[in-house]
Amino acid sequence: MSALDHKPPYELNIGAGHTYIPGFVNIDITDRAEVTLDLSTEGLPFPDDSVRTIVSIATLEHIPDYLFALGEMHRVLEHDGTLLLMLPYVTLTELHLVNPYHLHNFSERSFDLFDPALLKGSAAEDNDIAFRRVYVEYRYMNYVGIAPKPVRDLARRHLFNVVRDFDIGLVAIKDPDRPVDAGEQRAAAMRARMGELLRARTPYSDGAATNGSGPTLPSAAPPSRDRSLKTRLGKRLQPYRERVIG
């Protein structure tokens, strides 16, 4: 499927260099994606208010001018449209702060600067970007996640290497006079959709590039089983998730 085969309202997957999401318009700087562009300098090829959902996994931190990219996401999203992001947490040192390809830092508070009811306007910025945070979900490292909530909060705010990454769900505010849905039911629905989309990501075939013609389906070979001690322990020590709404 090519980008021309999709019909509005569109759903976009931004950061589709290694995997694509079936049914979405898959966008990346590499030529594997259906739409190839540099979102630091090139606008999204969609009309204003024509996109219902955007998902972007571990991508925004790589884009040099992420404000331009975020502005394009806001432009094409419809009012109350959904933006789902997964980002490395600001205090992660070994995999984030020392990574030369990670150009920006993010926490759950980063997007409060785009909410007119919170911090938008405090930096005297000159843009129309407006979002409201609906939910946050952290992936804690090691055993921090099983500590009592006050301990987790204190550790997350004051210590390094406590949270590996986090998901955040936002809604686009296009008309300040119209309401947006940022309630608990919307948060639960967005969280569930994020989980579905993470599971739906599909690797491209080895060595195959689409050159804009759509994803190449992977082979149907069954996955191999790895019963090593490292793998079994790794599955037991999956990062703990704390779900936070609002």
- Pair 31, 209: CB distance under 8 Å: yes
pTM score of the predicted model:
0.82
pLDDT value of residue 220: 36
pLDDT value of residue 170: 98
- Pair 29, 39: CB distance under 8 Å: yes
What's the pLDDT tens digit per position in 91-141? 888 788 888 888 899 999 999 999 998 878 777 777 889 999 999 999 998
Share of the chain above pLDDT 90, in %: 60
Q: How many domains does the chain have?
A: 1
pLDDT value of residue 30: 93
Going by pLDDT thresholds of 50, 70 and 90, the confidence category of residue 232 is very low
**Locus of tokens 């024509």:** 50
How far is it, in rounded angstroms, from Cα 13 to Cα 16? Answer: 7
pLDDT value of residue 93: 87
State the residue range of the domain holding 177. Answer: 3-245
Q: What is the mean pLDDT of residues 19-45?
A: 95
Residues 6+ apart with CB under 8 A from 176: 116, 130
**Is the predicted pLDDT of residue 208 greater than 80, yes or no?**
no
pLDDT value of residue 76: 98
**Which residues in 22-52 are b (16+ Cβ under 10 Å) and which e?**
eebbbbbbeebbbbbbebeeeebebeebebe
Residue 195 sits in a domain whose CATH number is 3.40.50
pLDDT value of residue 122: 78
